[in-house]
Amino acid sequence: MAVTILIPTALRQFTDGQSEITVEAKTVREALRGLTVKYVDLQKHLFTSEDALRSFVNVYVNEDDIRQKNGLDTPLAGTETLMLVPSIAGGLSSDALQSSPQLPELTHDEITRYSRHLILPEVGMEGQRKLKNSKVLLIGTGGLGAPLAMYLAAAGVGTIGIVDFDFVDESNLQRQIIHGTRDIGRPKIASATDRIKGINPKVKVISFDTRLTSQNALQIIKDFDVVADGTDNFQTRYLVNDACVFLGKPNVYGSVYRFEGQASVFYAEKGACYRCLYSAPPPPGLVPSCAEGGILGVLPGIVGCIQANETLKLLIGGGDSLINRLLIFDAWKMKFRELKLNKDPNCPVCGKNPTITELIDYEEFCGLRRHPEKEAAVEEVTALELKKLFDDNANLQIIDVREPHELAIGKLPNTKVVPLGQVVRRQEELDPSKITVIVCKIGTRSAIAIRALKDSGYTGRLLNLRDGINSWASDVDPKMAKY
């Protein structure tokens, strides 16, 4: 019987860009087997060498997680939709988040400012006073943190904490609307603070101009009521999750990639945490960052607004929260999907017998701490060194593993395009007698491609263009645009 499998953006590089694939299958296992037969590059991304489904990939049949059914042996009747959900970066009682029974009064000016809230029976004077008494910590002031900060400030949240150590770059401005052109080069925390105060001078801003780490996370988070996660990397996501579990704080989650976004509320006291959904992160490089994969500028605005909405409901103590629900949004198709989440009794952090009881080394956990003795060496070449090889007419072949549309921005001479998801399958198109220079935007995807080629037995010499095509634009050809 025919079963439709929905492919998320992060995995479409391995399905020739296809978002929906139909296979004949009677069980989930058969469906995934049929999928990996059609697209062999997906095999290692979905299954371990022991043929088990990888921990960073969840499979849903309609709205149900197969882990709560019969796993890979879950039967299919032919009318279901099977969805792959890989990791990408009920209301609470009114007493749950308010540390003091004494709520601050509203001034006459505040009554005027928040009048459209006050006439909502679900908010009213008491709800607005709760917001004034609340403290929300934002992790990051980028694409997600920007709308979060601005709408929470406008709504009258009394104290907003912001954690960020980055500086405003011109490429941020396409989506990070809290920063402006005149802020380029400034610390994000400074421009975000100015914007928050410009929207609502009554809001108290507490700035943490630092990277969130295992050493400072508990101290920073402990005095806030709600944490809103606007990060763009897995190590910080797991750090925020674990710290919130240990401190009993709700974690309002959002993530974005290209055209897809996810949102939920992870609150271990009431339901699932982030580790219940994704027990382990994907291998480094499988899910590109926005810098490499791209992102529709409006998408983090939409998802960040959903996070702001969930945060306000938690603080006020009303509405139906996204606790135990995962909301998935496809901006290109303008479709929302909602999936059920379940608390995992075996979760290593919030389960019945937790094995993680303190913050750990999250760089190590996410596979980012390099172990040269375990890692295949990648030989690099700088842009200037590559230019000399060109000038010397060296026996070269240039393989660009970016997506074909990226080459319109700029490319090296005599480039052959072999997207990362196809590089192993198409290695016979490479000439082992030539020096092969692998190129991408910033040198990350090309390094992954080299390791994959070596693991598959390719014998030719492989060089990685250090810092990617952007280094060529900086050091060799200033007429080429950087992106």
State which of 86, 117, 140 marks the end of a domain.
86
Q: According to the model, what pLDDT value does residue 220 have?
A: 98
Bridge partners of residue 87, in order along the sequence: none
**Exposure of 61 in the CB half-sphere (CA atoms within 13 A):** 23
Q: Is 86 in a helix, a strand, or coil? A: strand
User: Do 191 and 310 sit in the same domain of this protein?
Assistant: yes
Angle at 179 between CA 173 and CA 185, to 5 degrees: 85
Residue 328's contacts (CB-CB under 8 Å, 6 or more residues apart) are: 85, 260, 261, 262, 336, 337, 338, 339
CB 259 within 8 A of CB 332: yes
Q: Is 93 part of any domain?
A: no
Note whether 224 and 284 are same-domain residues. yes
Number of domains in the chain: 3
- Whether 331 and 407 share a structural domain: no
- Side-chain-facing half-sphere of 362: CA atoms under 13 Å: 20
- Edge-to-edge strands of the sheet including 64-65? 20-24, 2-6, 81-86, 57-61, 64-65
Residue (of 136, 339, 295) closest to 229 by Cα position: 136
CB 132 within 8 A of CB 103: yes
- 24 falls within a domain: yes
Q: Are strands 81-86 and 57-61 parallel, antiparallel or unpaired?
A: antiparallel
Please indicate, yes or no, if residue 371 is contained in any of the structural domains: no
Q: Are residues 7 and 30 in the same domain?
A: yes
Residues 6+ apart with CB under 8 A from 212: 139, 163, 220, 236, 239, 240
Residues 65 and 152 placed together within one structural domain of the fold = no
Asked, for residue 450, whether it belongs to a domain, the answer is yes
Query: What stretches of 134-215 show up as alpha helix (H) in DSSP?
Result: 145-155, 188-199
Q: What is the pLDDT along the chain (483 residues), one digit of tens a residue?
A: 788 999 987 788 888 888 899 999 999 999 999 999 888 888 888 888 788 888 888 999 988 889 888 899 999 987 788 889 887 754 444 444 544 468 999 999 999 999 999 999 999 999 999 999 999 999 999 999 999 999 999 999 999 999 999 999 999 999 999 999 999 999 999 999 999 999 999 999 999 999 999 999 999 999 999 999 999 889 999 999 999 999 999 999 999 999 999 999 999 999 999 999 998 888 776 666 777 778 999 999 999 999 999 999 999 999 999 999 999 999 999 999 999 999 999 999 999 999 999 999 998 888 776 554 455 579 999 999 999 999 999 999 999 999 888 989 999 988 999 999 899 999 999 999 999 999 999 998 999 999 999 989 999 999 999 999 999 999 999 999 888
Q: Is residue 101 a part of any domain in this protein?
A: no
Catalytic site residues? 290, 440
Q: What is the DSSP letter of 119?
A: T
CATH number at residue 428: 3.40.250.10
CATH number of the domain where residue 63 is located: 3.10.20.30
Task: Clarify whether residues 359 and 385 are in a common domain.
Answer: no
State how far the Cα of 151 lies from the Cα of 417, in Å rounded to an integer. 43
Phi and psi torsions of 107, nearest 5°:
-75, 170
Judge whether 259 lies within some domain: yes
C-alpha–C-alpha distance, residues 55 and 434, integer Å: 39
- Is 470 found in the same domain as 400? yes
pLDDT of amino acid 44: 81
Q: Cα(273)–Cα(349) distance, rounded to whole angstroms?
A: 8
> What CATH number does residue 298 fall under?
3.40.50.720
Give a yes or no: residue 65 inside a domain. yes
Q: What are the tokens at 23?
A: 């296979």
Check whether residue 350 and residue 383 sit in a common domain: no
**Strand order, beta sheet including 435-439:** 379-381, 462-465, 435-439, 396-400, 415-417
Which range marks the domain in which residue 26 is found?
2-86
Same domain as 324, residue 238: yes
Structure tokens at 52: 């088990």
Q: What are the tokens at 243?
A: 């710290």
In the prediction, which pLDDT does 52 show? 85
Structure tokens at 429: 């198109």
Residue 453: the pLDDT is 94
Tell whether 208 and 310 lie within a shared domain. Answer: yes
Please check whether residues 385 and 361 belong to one and the same domain: no
Question: Is residue 202 located within the same domain as residue 285?
Answer: yes
Identify the pLDDT of residue 81.
87
- The SS3 of residue 265 is strand
Residue 15, token pair as written in the block: 């399905």
Q: Choose one of 335, 365, 395: the last residue of a domain.
A: 365
Paired tokens of 480:
């080429």
Residue 447, classed as helix, strand or coil, is: helix
Residue bearing tokens 């009114």: 94
> Is 298 within 8 Å of 175 (Cβ atoms)?
yes
Token representation of residue 332: 């290109």
Rounded-to-integer distance, Cα 326 and Cα 338, Å: 6
Which residues, 6+ apart, have CB-to-CB distance to 196 below 8 Å? 149, 150, 153, 160, 162, 178, 203, 205
Q: Which of 308, 337, 365 is the last residue of a domain?
A: 365
Could you give the 3-state DSSP secondary structure of residue 174? helix
Q: Is residue 284 part of a domain?
A: yes
Instruction: Round to whole Å and give the CA distance between 460 and 243.
Output: 47
